[in-house]
Amino acid sequence: MAMRPIATTRAMTGIPTGRLAVWWVIASEIVIFGGLLGSYIMHRLVNPQWANYAIHTNTWAGAFNTLVLLTSSLSAVLAHHAATHGDGKKAARYLWFTMAGGGIFIVVKAFEWTHEIQLGYTITANAFWAFYYTAAGLHALHVIAGVVIMGIISVDCLKNQELHRVELIGNYWHFVDLVWIFLFPLLYIAK
């Protein structure tokens, strides 16, 4: 059978195939997180007693994790910049830095949750904690997925192969950061 060329750019949109696919992923994630956070907001507004539960979330831990994710977004975009200039090794180093940020985020989250669960604030305690663990947990799963994918991409980067993927995982990572930017005030600041 004759070899057929692989479409690397969609003629209709003018956007490279991989990047377009990531935009679709992010668009669907907006609906997932948007629905979840929208539900949280409407319930929070009708349940003034949730403020009494929210005072138990650790603002400083949330702020520290926001700083960690913002910094990891910086390293992700610097990895993209290095990849654009064909420097795979530098891109891999920045990706590892970003992965470290994701790791720190999860460790802080683990300490936070352990403390909260020990105090009896479990996912079944009430609707506030159910939303808290669902939203933060779904976000944490995205962080873990991002770290794993970044690890795989960084291996190719070391060989200076498939460097366009650095931008793709970068865009996903920035979205994960963006979701946290809204989760932080909703779960940690509004008390």
Partner 1 sequence: MSDDHGPAHYIRIWAILVALLVVSVIGPMFEIQVVTLITAFGIACVKAYMVAANFMHLKTEKTLAVYMLVTCLVFMFLFFAGTAPDVMKTEGTNWDKPALRAMIAAGLAEGADHH
Binding residues vs partner 1 (CB under 8 A): 13-15, 19-20, 23-24, 26-28, 30-31, 34-35, 38-39, 41-43, 45-53, 59, 63, 66-67, 70-71, 73-74, 76-78, 80-81, 84, 126, 167, 170-171, 174-175, 177-178, 181-182, 184-185, 189-191
3-class state of residue 16 by DSSP: strand
**Residue 133 or 188 having the CB closest to partner 1:** 188
- Spatial separation of the C-alpha atoms in residues 182 and 171, rounded to whole Å: 17
3-class state of residue 9 by DSSP: strand
CB of 137 to partner 1, least distance (A): 20
**Residue 16 or 151 having the CB closest to partner 1:** 16
**Residue that has been written with the tokens 């009494």 in this structure:** 52
CB of 98 to partner 1, least distance (A): 12
Per-residue buried b or exposed e for 38-67, using 16+ beta carbons within 10 Å of the residue's own CB? eebeeebeeeeebeebbeebeeeebeebbe
CB of 114 to partner 1, least distance (A): 22
DSSP conformation letters of 67-97? HHHHHHHHHHHHHHHHHHTT-HHHHHHHHHH
Radius of gyration of the chain (CA): 19
**Residue 44 or 109 having the CB closest to partner 1:** 44
CB of 138 to partner 1, least distance (A): 15
**Residue 103 or 164 having the CB closest to partner 1:** 164
CB of 124 to partner 1, least distance (A): 15
